[in-house]
Structures are given as structure tokens and as C-alpha cells.
Amino acid sequence: MIRVLYLTRTKLALSRAHTINILKTAQYLAQEPSVRVLVVSLAGESRAVDQILRDKGINSPVSLNVLPKKRSALWYLVRTTNYDVLYFRDPWLVFPALFARLVGGKKIVFEVHGSYEWRFLLPLWHFAVRASDGAVFITKKLAQYYHSKKPYVVAPTNAVTLEAYSTPIDLAPVGVPDGSVVIMYVGSFLWYSIDVLVGMMQELRGEKVHLVFVGSTADDEKMISEKMKKAELEGRYTVIRRVVPVEVSKYLCAADILVNPLATDYPGSISSKLYEYLAAGKPIITTLGGANDEIIIDNENGIIVRELNGKLFAQAALKVLRDKKFATRIGEAARFSTRQYTWEARAKSIHGLLEKVMRA
């Protein structure tokens, strides 16, 4: 039996992709017969365990330890010994992790999702990779960037449950005009370009299209409103504020085209939302980013726009609108390709790494 302590400083109650990643990884890793997982949040959590798990769509029991107040990683580890591997994805946790290894003889595994975009923290990322007994990289390019000599695997940053992507939500009550082609973006605009989407809509003035933003923050909504008003696009968009993760699939299924204007090109820059986009089985238009081409194949299961440009996004959208056979083909291919990106597959990959680390 491998006992895994998954330590995080993240507030798991937040509706963010990485919080789903943490809990889903724990859920499916714990389903491996020889693995036991405890997730410990060091952040002060505003919600109880059952509410957090329900919002994230965790259907089987997951051992989760949360408290309403923040706590020290080192102090927690001083009092806790009932684990074999300390798993973490925050480079700052490498220091208490090293304590666990040097004092308690524990193995440590680091899930790597960042690189030189963190500028002054880059040495810390490199140190965490080298100090760990094993590493999980979210992209192939990230693994190549670090050249790890320790055992490692490349595991997708996200995965989906296909059965959840079947029933669309009705968008009429939120102001989407009947008969409109719905172009949808899901998420906040950290690392993403709103200007590309505004430019796209300007180019599509003559088309009956409606842009829907799902999961926007209050700041995002204010920015969207200001930019769309300046571009004279009032009435051509709808903003839907934060929704719980389990509801996202319903919105994606209600879209006709899904857009992803990622504005960064770091080795770990892969949009976790793309896995959900693929599962919805709709045409996807995305920038290359750093590694989006590891899951999107241009003109096969999506369209890759090589420049961060609204006009090029509009041209891709028009290609989808004008060629129904093409739109159907890439949408079906998108959903089919999702079959390789499951939480079960991610967990098995990480389980294999854990076994190697324990034998080393």
C-alpha cells in the first residue's frame, strides 16, 4: 500500500481548474487498489468538505482535511507521519517536503506546471524539480524544458467524464437571441486575450452570432462591458458569472463554437479548458499557446490560429459557419479524441510513477 499525502496551499472551494485537478486526481488515484490518498488544504476554507466535493463533482469518497483557518505546512508535517509519499504542485512547498524526506524518510513528488513565466521564481521551480524524487509534468514541452534525470511522467493537466457532456442548458433566459450562433468562451482572462474576442466580433458584425462568456469574475465582467461598448457591440454578448464546475458541461454543450485565445507561449502553457471543450464535441478555435498542439490537431479536431489576432479568429469562425460538413467532422473528432484524456488514465500514469519512486 502506498499512502499519499497531497499537500496544497490552494483554497479548494474556489471554482478554478487547478482545484478540480487536485481533487479529481486524488479521487481516481485513490481508486487504484494499492493507493490511499489524503488531501490536506493549508488554506482557510470557507466551505465544508461535503460542499467542496459536491461542487467539484466528486462522486466517490475522498479523504479531505480542511479547516476554516490557515495552517503551517511544517507544523502539520511535524505532527503527521502516516504517509509514504508527499505530493505537491506548489514549488514553495518544496521546503516542508524536504523536511519530510530528511527527517521522516518520506518520498516527495512534484507536479510541475510552470517555468520561466514566473521570472524571479524560476530558480525555485528548478530547485523543486531537482529536489524531488519524481515529477509529473503537464506537457511534453515542459518535460523537455526541465530535462529531469529523476523518474517522471507526462500527465494531462485536466480530464473529463464524457457522460457529463450530453445535456445543454437553455441560454434564452440569460438573453441569448433565438436563432443566434453561440460562440462561447469559458473562464477568466488571466493569461487570455479579451481583445482578440472583441476584434473577432467586430469582423463578424454581418453574421448572426452572439458571444457568451461563462464563469467571468466581477472584474472580467467590467472589462468586457467597457471593451464591448467601445467597440459598439452592445447586445451582441452575454456574461454569465461564476458557475459551479459541475454545471460547466451544460453551458459548453449549448455552444456552437468554442474559442480559446490563450496569450502565453511558455512550455507549460496548455489550456486546461480545452479538454472540456473537446468533450462537448463542438468546433474549437484556439491559439497555439505553448503546448495546445499537444491535444489540438489543426483542422482535425479543432482549428489552431497561429497569431493572437481577432481577424484570424473571425476567419476561422466563418470557415465553420460556411462549411457545415467541416464543422460536424471536427466536432465529432474533438469528442472522440477526448477518450484518451480520462481521470482514470491520468491516475494510472501517476500511480506508475509512485511505484517507481517507492522502489528507488
Instruction: For each of the domains in the chain, give its residue range(s) and CATH number, in order of start.
Output: 2-158+342-359 (3.40.50.2000), 162-340 (3.40.50.2000)
For residue 286, what are the contacts with CB-CB under 8 A and spacing of at least 6?
Answer: 259, 260, 261, 262, 271, 274, 292, 296, 302, 303, 304, 305
Name the residue type at position 93.
Answer: L
Neighbour-count burial of 101, counting CB atoms closer than 10 A to its CB (0-12 exposed, 13-18 middle, 19+ buried): middle
- Provide the residue-wise pLDDT of the chain in tens; the chain has 360 residues: 999 999 999 999 987 888 989 999 999 999 999 999 999 999 999 899 999 998 888 877 789 999 999 999 999 999 999 999 999 999 999 999 999 999 999 999 999 999 999 889 999 999 999 999 999 999 999 999 999 999 999 998 888 888 889 999 999 999 999 999 999 999 999 999 999 999 999 999 999 999 999 999 999 999 999 999 999 999 999 999 988 888 999 999 999 999 999 999 999 999 999 999 999 999 999 999 999 999 999 999 999 999 999 999 999 999 999 999 999 999 999 999 998 898 999 999 999 999 999 998
For residue 8, what are the contacts with CB-CB under 8 A and spacing of at least 6?
Answer: 22, 39, 40, 41, 42, 43, 88, 89, 90, 93
Largest CA distance in the chain: 67
Name the residue type at position 187.
Answer: G
Return left, alpha or beta for 202; rule: phi > 0 is left, psi -120 to 50 is alpha, else beta. Answer: alpha
Q: Supply the pTM of this predicted model.
A: 0.91
